[in-house]
Amino acid sequence: MYFPVLRSGVIVQYPVSRSTDYGLAEAESPGGASWRSSTGRVPVRRWRLELDEISDEEAATLASFYEDCRGGWRTFCFPEPLGNLLVWSEDLARPVWAKSPGTSIIRTGTTSEEPAEFLIVNASGAPGGVWQEVDMAPGAALCFSCEIQGSAGQEAVIMAAGNRRQLLTTDAWRLDYVTGVSGGGAQRVGIELAAGATARVRCLQAEIQVMPSEYQPTYETGGVFPKTRFAQDGLSIVSIAPGRNRAIVILESLMESGL
């Protein structure tokens, strides 16, 4: 199950708020000393979505989805609307990143550098590259962006949800992006190089919107939450006028680690 997508291809409107409960325990001794520690439980992320001027059809879809979930009982997949959907955008050597045979990934620069930079080497005789699969609802906009650098005039391809954009690299770092529309399920985002080609990349990011925003690095946890649920009092829909509705949605999910 996926959280419903609006006609615009996104799942939220602004304003939207996000908070994370890390489960901290605090105490203060009679002498005034403070003590703070983790409770050891998995952090919980919460979102408050305010949807304005949604159609009767969109409102009905949202209400039906809430009923299908039995309120907060059943879980569903929800992509982070304010962040990077990728897992380990700062380490392309992690198993979550797939790569073609003959393609290698080499980290360049210092290990403490952020954002991390990587050299992609396609030593095979066929096009190859590196990619990640992102679980998305059908009809959702999926934007993949990265900064890329290579020999002037060298061809590269960036891809998102079946859409491919061919570009020519330059000697300087340049931000490029491509936007596709999800067909539902695992959607591939990544970079492909011609046979024998190399390129340096950094700031890899996938977002559920049509254009890229400022880069947000990710590590153990990515931005797709497969076990999200409606929080208590998690849905309020008000009819403003015929064909015009306003909804407030409250969601929460455990921040489980990826690969």
Reported as a single tens digit per residue, the pLDDT across 132-143 is 999 999 999 999
Do 119 and 199 belong to one domain? yes
Examine residue 32 and state whether it is found in any structural domain, yes or no: no
Q: What is the pLDDT of residues 179-224, one digit of tens each?
A: 999 999 999 999 999 999 999 999 999 999 999 999 999 998 889 9
Do 141 and 230 belong to one domain? no
Percent of the chain topping pLDDT 70: 93
pLDDT over 60 at 106, yes or no:
yes
- Domain of 137 in residue numbering reads as 98-207
In this prediction, residues 98-115 reach a mean pLDDT of: 86
Do 79 and 102 belong to one domain? no
Q: Which of 109, 77, 81 is nearest to 201 (CA)?
A: 109
**What pLDDT score was predicted for residue 35?**
62
Q: What is the pLDDT of residues 124-134, one digit of tens each?
A: 999 999 999 99
In this prediction, residues 240-251 reach a mean pLDDT of: 92
pLDDT over 60 at 258, yes or no:
no
**What pLDDT score was predicted for residue 259?**
46
Question: Strands across the sheet with 16-21, in order?
Answer: 16-21, 44-54, 244-254, 224-241, 76-79
Examine residue 252 and state whether it is found in any structural domain, yes or no: yes
Do 158 and 117 belong to one domain? yes
Examine residue 189 and state whether it is found in any structural domain, yes or no: yes
Examine residue 91 and state whether it is found in any structural domain, yes or no: no
pLDDT over 90 at 29, yes or no:
no
R_g of the chain, CA atoms, integer Å: 21
Res. 38 pLDDT band, cuts 50 70 90: low
CATH number at residue 155: 2.60.120.260
Do 127 and 69 belong to one domain? no
The Cα 63–Cα 66 span in angstroms is 5
Do 103 and 174 belong to one domain? yes
**Which pTM value belongs to this model?**
0.87
Do 145 and 112 belong to one domain? yes
**Total structural domains within the chain:** 2
Res. 65 pLDDT band, cuts 50 70 90: very high
Do 145 and 175 belong to one domain? yes
Q: Which of 164, 180, 207 is the last residue of a domain?
A: 207
SS3 per residue for the chain: CECCCCCCCCCCCCCEEEEEECCEEEEECCCCCEEEEECCCCCEEEEEEEEEEECHHHHHHHHHHHHHCCCCCCCEEEECCCCCCCCCCCCCCCCCCEECCCEEEEEECCCCCCCCEEEEEECCCCCEEEEEEEEECCCCEEEEEEEEECCCCCEEEEEECCEEEEEECCCCCEEEEEEEECCCEEEEEEEEECCCCEEEEEEEEEECCCCCCCCCCCCCCCCEEEEEEEEEEEEEEEEEECCEEEEEEEEEEECCCCC
In this prediction, residues 97-106 reach a mean pLDDT of: 95
Q: What is the pLDDT of residues 66-100, one digit of tens each?
A: 999 999 999 999 999 989 999 999 999 999 999 99
Examine residue 88 and state whether it is found in any structural domain, yes or no: no
Do 17 and 77 belong to one domain? yes
Examine residue 1 and state whether it is found in any structural domain, yes or no: yes
